């Protein structure tokens, strides 16, 4: 007679147990993000077309490009276009920039009326035309104003989660990340993101991941890490080193929306998908261009796609003449012809994952309003925010 111990095992009993995920889903108030990976908002990049491509590869949170609160309130056409979402897109997530509480609150209310389900506040932009007005990465230095803006957004949002993104500070002598995190948590922010560079660094040098761990140890709300995530192994290393609750990916996904498939696999403990050969990259490029044409029309859609071509083909041996033609491509038919002439069997370049994309350049002193560093707690009122295009920080 067979006993239970020597009875034949079923196929299910022979299976290896499912790998344990590295992190649980990310909870932002009532919003649950199954994979704790966030697409960083980038001006002119994270539009509906790019978000669709990224979402197809992984179930993260895909944030619309930044809009300016004042411009949104005043109904500027360009800002209204930037705040648009694809039909059926969920969750609707967007980044908001502002320098005074009233316009931030009104902008939040209007976004909620349009069905937005997550709002991220930008306090990380290091651009000169932003910081010299006291905005972006300069603003958290003024703690009272920063608190008032975060509080206004959270109150106006109600049950909709508000998150806050900031940098380490202005420079190494003027760090703000711990105060910025504590204030955001005090005022009801659902999570914070730290880009672990100062404004002075811009996008140069290495991100200081240890500061992310420092912030995580200080707060009881989720802390997301941003900076130097070029491939899935970087995200895993950041989380293990810092204890972060998730990662925010910016430049690393330029021309590589499939990076989110890698990240989803890595966080689930699964093997990574194979690197795409040139033929698969070309297919992704054509789909991206078609989506842009659908949303923006033939002429503007192809024009907007030009900047993506260099990112997609970074490291591939396609030749300078092909790159030049793609930088000037004028129609979908022309794009298909140029890309159709490439060898689809060319493998992904060995060092292609770590080739820098997007913003780069040396550090530079931060432009600030006169007397900005004198008193962190003085009452300060800034002029209405400029209508700027910023990468999110």
Instruction: Show which residues are catalytic.
Output: 125
CB atoms < 10 A from the CB of 236, how many? Answer: 18
Per the DSSP assignment, residues forming a β-bridge with 163 are 120, 191
C-alpha dist (Å) from residue 99 to 19, 145, 148, 272, 383: 45, 8, 10, 42, 8
3-state secondary structure 243-306: CCCEEEECHHHCCCCCHHHHHHHHHHCCCCCCCCCHHHHHHHHHHHHHHHHHHHCHHHHHHHHH
- Dist CA 31 CA 52 (whole Å): 19
Nearest to 166 by CA among 187, 188, 183: 183
- Dist CA 112 CA 160 (whole Å): 8
Residues in the chain: 393
DSSP, res 356? -
For residue 314, what are its two tokens? 């970074």
CB 139 within 8 A of CB 146: yes
Q: State the first-to-last Cα distance of the chain, in angstroms, to the nearest integer.
A: 70
DSSP, res 365? P
**Residue 110 CA to chain centroid, in angstroms?**
22
List Cβ neighbours of 340 (8 Å cut-off, separation of 6 or more).
none
Sign of CA dihedral 114, 66, 380, 215: positive
Q: Which residue intervals of the chain are DSSP H helices? A: 11-14, 48-57, 69-73, 77-82, 101-113, 128-131, 143-157, 177-186, 209-218, 232-242, 259-268, 278-296, 298-312, 320-327, 332-340
CB atoms < 10 A from the CB of 19, how many? Answer: 11
């Amino acid at each position: 007679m067979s006993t239970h111990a020597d009875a034949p095992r079923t196929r299910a009993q022979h299976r290896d147990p499912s790998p344990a995920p590295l992190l649980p889903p990310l909870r932002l108030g009532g919003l649950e993000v199954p994979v704790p990976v966030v697409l960083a908002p980038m001006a002119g990049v994270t539009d509906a077309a790019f978000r669709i491509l990224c979402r197809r590869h992984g179930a993260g949170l895909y944030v619309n490009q930044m809009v300016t609160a004042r411009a949104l309130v005043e109904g500027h056409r360009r800002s209204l276009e930037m705040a648009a979402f694809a039909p059926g897109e969920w969750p609707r997530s967007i980044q908001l920039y502002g320098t005074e509480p009233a316009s931030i609150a009104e902008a939040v209310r209007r976004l909620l009326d349009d069905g937005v389900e997550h709002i991220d506040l930008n306090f990380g932009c290091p651009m000169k035309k932003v910081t010299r007005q006291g905005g972006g990465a300069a603003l958290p230095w003024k703690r009272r104003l920063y608190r008032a803006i975060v509080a206004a957004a959270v109150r106006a949002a109600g049950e909709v989660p508000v998150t806050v993104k900031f940098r380490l500070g202005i420079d190494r002598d003027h760090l703000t990340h711990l105060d910025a995190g504590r204030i955001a948590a005090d005022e009801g922010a659902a999570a914070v993101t730290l880009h672990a560079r100062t404004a002075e660094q811009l996008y140069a040098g290495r991100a200081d991941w240890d500061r992310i761990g420092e912030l995580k140890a200080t707060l009881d709300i989720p802390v997301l890490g941003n900076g130097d995530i070029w491939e899935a192994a970087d995200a895993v290393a950041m989380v293990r080193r810092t204890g972060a609750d998730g990662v925010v990916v910016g430049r690393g996904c330029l021309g590589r929306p499939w990076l989110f498939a890698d990240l989803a696999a890595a966080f689930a403990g699964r093997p990574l998908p194979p690197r795409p050969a040139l033929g698969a990259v070309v297919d992704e490029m054509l789909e991206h261009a078609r989506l842009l044409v659908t949303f923006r029309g033939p002429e503007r859609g192809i024009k907007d796609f030009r900047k993506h071509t260099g990112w997609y083909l970074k490291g591939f041996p396609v030749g300078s003449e092909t790159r030049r033609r793609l930088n000037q491509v004028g129609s979908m038919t022309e794009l298909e012809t140029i890309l159709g002439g490439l060898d689809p069997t060319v493998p992904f370049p060995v060092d292609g994952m770590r080739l820098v994309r997007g913003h780069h350049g040396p550090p530079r002193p931060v432009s600030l309003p006169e007397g900005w560093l004198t008193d962190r707690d003085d009452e300060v009122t800034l002029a209405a925010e400029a209508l700027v295009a910023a990468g999110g920080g």
